[in-house]
Each structure stands twice: as C-alpha cells, then as structure tokens.
Amino acid sequence: MNDSVPPATEGLENWTAIMGDIAGRSQRLLTDFVSRNSTQTAAPNNLGMADTMNIGAAFLELMAKMMEDPQRLMDAQLSLWRGYLDLWRSSTLKMMGQEAPAVINPDPADRRFADDAWRDVQIFDFIKQSYLLSARWVQETVADVQGLDPQNKRKVDFFTKQLIDAAAPTNFAVTNPEVLRATIESKGENLVKGLQNLLEDLEKGKGRLRVSMTDETAFALGRNVAVTPGKVVFRNRMLELIQYSPTTTEVKETPLLIVPPWINKYYILDLREKNSMVKWLTDQGYTTFIVSWVNPDTSMANTTFEDYMLEGMLAAKDAVLAATGAKKTHIAGYCIGGTLLSCALAYMKAKGDDTVASATYFVALTDFREPGDLGIFIDEPQIVALEKRMEEAGGFLDASDMATTFNMLRSNDLIWSFVVNNYLMGKEPFPFDLLYWNSDSTRMPQAMHSFYLRNMYLQNNLAKAGGLTLAGVPIDLRTIKTPTYMISCKEDHIAPWKSTYAGTGLFGGPVKFVLSGSGHIAGVVNEPARKKYNYWTNDKKAKTPDAWLEGAVSHPGSWWTDWEAWLAPQSGKMIPARKPGSGKLKAIEDAPGSYVKMRAN
C-alpha cells in the first residue's frame, strides 16, 4: 500500500475521533450561518436554469429514440460490460503482483488525476478507470443516438458532459486521495475550513453559491491591475473613454480605439504592465484609447443595441477624433465589441461617414450560423424564459447568470477545480489577476440582450444583407470597404474560429484573417515577450476554414507583432506625442476611471 494515503485499518479510533470533532465543529458553523442569514431573502438558485433550458424535454426525446433501437442499446451495454471485465482482470493481476496494462487512461491534459495515488494505489486506480470507462460509455452512447432534433442533441451532449464532470471521483472527499491525505494530516481542519469557505461563498452570493476563484482582496483597480497611466477624457451614460499616456516622444498620426465587450470589464487588456495590450500599443507609438462601459442597473433596462452603437461606439469614435484632431482612427472590437463594430461600419457607410482607417476584430462573430457551445443556451423557449427572469430582476440579466454560463463551458477548470480546492481541501483560492477579472462580471440590459440573442444567435440577421435595421438604416456588411484584420483563436469555445472565419466572406473590402493558438482570452492576451503559442497566416482566400488552415504558415510567438506590421503602414506620419487632456477634450479623472469600479455584486 502506498504511504501517500492512509491504510484503511490504521488509526481507526483516531479517525473516528477526528470525524466526530469535525461533525461538532461543522454543526456550530452551520448554526452560526443560519442565525446570521435567517432573515435574508435568498437569490434565485442557479439550478432554475435547467427548467428554462427545457433539458427535461431533450432527455425525454433521447430516451424515446434509444428505445426505438434496443439492439444498439444492448450492444452499448455489452461493450461497457466487456470493459469492466477487462478492468477486473487487470486489477486482479495487479493484486497478485503481476504487471498489467491500464484498460483506459485519462487524457494527458486532464489535471484531475495528476496525483500519483491515482496510478500507484490500486483502489484509486480502479476507481479512476471505472469512472473513465463509464464516462466514455455514457458519452458515446448518447452521441450514437440517431434522429434527435439538432438543438436537443446539442443539449443532451453538453449536459451529459456536465453530469459526467460533476460525478468525477475527484469531486468527493472519500474517493479523492489528496483530500483523504489532507484530512488525516490536518486532523480534519481542511473539511472544517472547507465548510467555512462554502458558507462564506453562500453568504457572498446572498443564498446562491458563488464559488470564489481567487483572493479578491489581493487586487485593486489602479493599484495592481488596470495600472497603465492615462486619463478619462470623455464620459456619457454609456461609457468612459480612456486615453493612455504616451511612452514615446513621437506617435503615429492615426490613433487607435479599442472597444471591448460589455459582457466583461475592459481591463482584460490591461491586467499588468508585462501583459497589457494597451501598454504595448503605446510603446509602439500609437495614441491608444479604450472604452470602459458602464455596468447597467434597472435604470438602463430599456437601453438597446442601437444605443450601444450610437451613444457607445460612434460617440467614442467622435471623441477620439476630437481629442486628437485626427481625420481618421483605427478601431478594434473584442468579441461582442467586434460584432458592434461591423454594425457601426455598415451604418457609417450608409451615412457617408469615412472616418475609420481600419477595422480589427478580436474573436468576434459576424455570421452566427454555427455559434459553438453558446448556441446550446439559445433557442426561442430559453429566450422567452430569460426575458421573464430579466423582468423579475428589474430589467437586466444578473452578472452571475452570464458568468455561470461561461464557466460551464469549461466546468472542470472553472467550477470543479475550485470546489475541490476551496471546499474539500479547505484552501484559499490563489490570487490570480485573470480570475479576479473573470469574477468581476457585468449586467446586461434587458432590451439590448433580447435583441442581441434573437437577431444574432437565433436568426443570424447580421449575416443577411439588410436583415438588421439600426437607427433606421438597413445593415449590410457587404458595403464595408474598410481594410479588415480578423484574429481568431484555435481553441475558442465562445467564438469558434471556423465560425468567425465565415465573416471573411461578408465584407466588401480587403480582409486579412489570422489564427492564434489557445482560446478566447489567452489567445488574445498573448504579449510577445512570453514567446508562447503561435499563429497562422495565409494571404490566399479559401472557401472553407479547413482549406485556409491547410495552406497557412505557422509562426512562433504572438500575433500582436503581425497586427502591428499590418497597422503601421495605414497609420500616417509620425507626429509629436499627444498627452491626454491636451486637445479639445480635457481630462476628467485618472485612469482607470469610475465606471470600471462599479461591481455587480
């Protein structure tokens, strides 16, 4: 028996005493929690999401289709039985001291089973392989069912994966060797501390479990995140516009405006000095501006997608021109900010506005035919249910709802790893700037969010010529002649790269498509100094994303340098550096401003 976990019979009396002490102390913690929260109204439970998504109906259809082909189901069960027989045979040989290969191994990237005990201790190796066999069987059986409604098929595939992840033996104290070891070594302190962490998270979420991902007290905006010097030079009800201080004596004539998504805070592009995109851009000689969106409340329930275009992006663009005296500006839109950018450019074209020198799209969808895993959450019944929830909340989508949706796309990394760390191991979450930003969510105004989900995800109207009308103008992306740079990420679950590639055929002007390694965040925030990941370029047009990638050239490092090489020739001459507040727009306050500090919880 490996000494990394306690023998089953060793110290039984001591173990019983430890568990008795844990029970007594836990009871006192629970009693104290109830007394403090007895008059508090609990927030709606996240589990309510299941009903709004009609998951039950999807699984009922699954079961009906399974019953239509009993032979296929029987074959699947026999396959599982054979796997278990192989596992029992392998385990028996190991118990007899003989070598036996594993029947199934976890993915090398699966960090849940990294502890040596999962390999070296027979009981845990058996538990691990039993789980992996069952998980594979369930997923393959569900995926093999024929004739399901396509949307229901996506739902059952996705939520089957969620259930499998939730049932992993790593998520339970008695089947996780690391937790058992910590419990023995600390005499149960980990479980008591874990319960305390759980209750604190429930209290913080006002009755809804809000799993802590990082030590939020370790960060402060303007102190160790969002620290690049600058000034707020424009403000309206929708946004604050930050102009960053130059770091070069001369700058390029054409300024650059970045429009981040309003689903999250802007400072993902300014976390720390060493990985700040805005700092890097100022170092390259760009007069850099960024939009800091307001965090909506009930007063903004009727704020529309149109408002985000007119009072948001276009107002910010005009402010950049006023602040710098430039005739044109570059604009980069991140995620939904890029979707908005495409709408704004088509609107500007119809109005005869030619003040944008180039457009850059960071992982942004313009054609929503294949929206990836997010499409699971979007169909007519779900939107109707979501609209009802937003009405009940006061006219906005609660920030925690949006955060939960995104976290579910990577549940092992963004949910269960923290459940184990915080509640079973009893540890404090590690201070991590990216996860601090991830926890700093924003609300969505009801009118805007309903419009966005219906017109983009559900009906794909943006991809249709004139399928969308904003401020009285039919939006047609084909009229856009602005030079376009599109960066997508190969492992993006939010804006799948093959879906973003579809947008290359929608614009009327020249388009350069670039593919980065990693995902929606890490693939974008990939400063050159890290020399991490890689990116692919292909100047030839291709009918399909696969054909494009087949002919693409891989380059080491960050795509930022490629983007800057594309931007520079379109940026005019070098002029004396512009200081924030020195132009027509005066400084209002220091960056990061006030709007970014409005927390949703």
pLDDT in tens, 546-591: 999 999 999 999 999 999 999 999 999 999 999 999 999 999 999 9
pLDDT-based confidence at 25, cuts 50/70/90?
low
φ, ψ of residue 484 in degrees (nearest 5)? -125, 135
pLDDT of residue 405: 82
Sign for the pseudo-dihedral over CA of 410, 195, 47, 386: negative
Same-domain status, 331 and 187: no
Cβ neighbours around 42 below 10 Å, total: 11
According to DSSP, residue 253 is labeled S
Please state, rounded to an integer, the average pLDDT across all residues of the chain.
90
Does 285 fall in a domain? yes
Same-domain status, 27 and 127: yes
Does 47 fall in a domain? yes
The C-alpha atoms of residue 106 and residue 19 are separated, in whole angstroms, by 32
Residue type, 178: E
For the record, the structure tokens of 207 come out as 């009755």
Report the pLDDT averaged over residues 454-481.
96
- pTM of the model as a whole: 0.88
Contact 102, 131 (CB under 8 A): no
Domain boundary among 140, 170, 204: 204
Which of 102, 101, 100, 127 minimizes the C-alpha distance to 113? 127
Q: Is the pLDDT of residue 103 over 80?
A: yes
Does 1 fall in a domain? no
Q: What is the DSSP string of 273-337?
A: GGG-HHHHHHHTT--EEEEEE----GGGTT--HHHIIIIIIIHHHHHHHHHH--S-EEEEEETHH
Q: Is the pLDDT of residue 3 over 50?
A: no
Domain count, the chain: 2
Helix (H) / strand (E) element for 319: namely helix 315-324
Sign for the pseudo-dihedral over CA of 579, 582, 584, 589: positive
Report the pLDDT averaged over residues 445-457.
96
Does 223 fall in a domain? no
Domain boundary among 156, 186, 204: 204
The C-alpha atoms of residue 92 and residue 102 are separated, in whole angstroms, by 12
pLDDT of residue 46: 43
The C-alpha atoms of residue 522 and residue 524 are separated, in whole angstroms, by 5
Give the burial class of 543: count Cβ atoms within 10 A of its Cβ; 0-12 exposed, 13-18 middle, 19 or more buried.
exposed
Same-domain status, 16 and 75: yes
Contact 429, 420 (CB under 8 A): no
Same-domain status, 191 and 246: no
- Please confirm, yes or no, whether 335 is among the known catalytic residues: yes
Does 215 fall in a domain? no
Same-domain status, 20 and 118: yes
For the record, the structure tokens of 55 come out as 């998951």
Q: Is the pLDDT of residue 477 over 80?
A: yes
Does 393 fall in a domain? yes
Which of 85, 87, 132 minimizes the C-alpha distance to 110? 132
Same-domain status, 147 and 269: no
| CATH number for position 465 | 3.40.50.1820
pLDDT of residue 14: 64
Report pLDDT digits (tens) over 229-258. Answer: 999 999 999 999 999 999 999 999 999 999
Same-domain status, 177 and 245: no
Does 193 fall in a domain? yes
Does 176 fall in a domain? yes
Residue type, 215: D
End-to-end CA distance of the chain: 48
Same-domain status, 168 and 28: yes
Same-domain status, 164 and 253: no
Size (the chain), residues: 601
Residue from 256, 277, 335, 486 carrying the catalytic annotation: 335
The C-alpha atoms of residue 247 and residue 267 are separated, in whole angstroms, by 19
Report the pLDDT averaged over residues 419-433.
93
Residues spanned by the domain of 156: 12-204
Which of 287, 226, 225, 227 minimizes the C-alpha distance to 258? 287
Domain boundary among 204, 220, 252: 204
Report pLDDT digits (tens) over 122-178. Answer: 999 999 999 999 999 999 999 888 899 888 888 899 999 999 999 999 999 999 999
Same-domain status, 174 and 244: no
Same-domain status, 174 and 83: yes
Q: In terms of pLDDT, which residue wins out, 358 or 91?
A: 358
pLDDT-based confidence at 31, cuts 50/70/90?
low
Q: In terms of pLDDT, which residue wins out, 448 or 12?
A: 448
Same-domain status, 84 and 128: yes
